[in-house]
Amino acid sequence: MPPGKAVPPRSLNAAEWDHTYESVAARWDEEPPPVLGDLLAAHAPPPARVLDVGCGLGTTARWLAARGYAVTACDFSPRAIEEARRRTPDGSPVRYEVRDVTGPAPPDPFPVVLDRGVLHTCPTDRERRRFAAAMARTCGPGGLWVHVGAAALGEEDALDQSGGPSWTTEETFRTAVAPWFTVLDLRIADFGGQPGVTDWPARYAVLRSEA
């Protein structure tokens, strides 16, 4: 387990995330490792239309756009979106929105939704199911949810919830998503590449909505 101070906080409150982005260096923020590009190329190659959910500072959204994806990036933290826009060069095709994806479904579902580090901020089974249901509404029937989140590789990791992301076993993850999704692909790799900060095990999954 990584130390709690090296990973993002566990919170579903937009105001708390506003405070985080105002007062704390987002040490976990970095471009994704190659495994995410491999998954996307295999299941949703560009120029697929992608919603980057919980985009934070926009780093992953810009990474997607550079690979030819049509990217909308959203976060429920207005402070995060403000900073993401500031960091994005003029002329970038990324579209930013302040949006809580657990609210009403978009009028035009996205064929691909990407959650890199959002589900693992849900600390309970109920909240994980709520988020999975929101992903199903957002991508619509047949749409894809590409998920990246903290993976517990053993029961000891799953029981240690002292700080940072909620570490879930594969069984817990599959149970949370089963009412709405079929898992098409699942791999374990590091969340990022910073030693002692983001080099902790993450679950990379591609899921198809059956709702």
Full-model pTM: 0.88
Q: pLDDT at position 122, please?
A: 87
- Rounded mean pLDDT for each run of 10 residues along the chain, 211 residues in total: 42 62 65 96 97 95 97 93 93 95 90 95 89 96 96 70 73 96 97 88 97 71
Q: pLDDT at position 2, please?
A: 39
- For residues 27 and 6, is the Cβ–Cβ distance under 8 A? yes
Which pair of structure tokens corresponds to residue 131? 């988020």
What's the number of CA atoms in the CB half-sphere (13 Å) around residue 135?
Answer: 34
> Which strands form 49-53's sheet, in the order they lie side by side?
95-98, 70-75, 49-53, 112-116, 144-150, 201-209, 181-190
Q: pLDDT at position 14, please?
A: 63
Q: pLDDT at position 19, please?
A: 59
Which residue in 165, 151, 166 sits closest to 203, CA to CA? 151
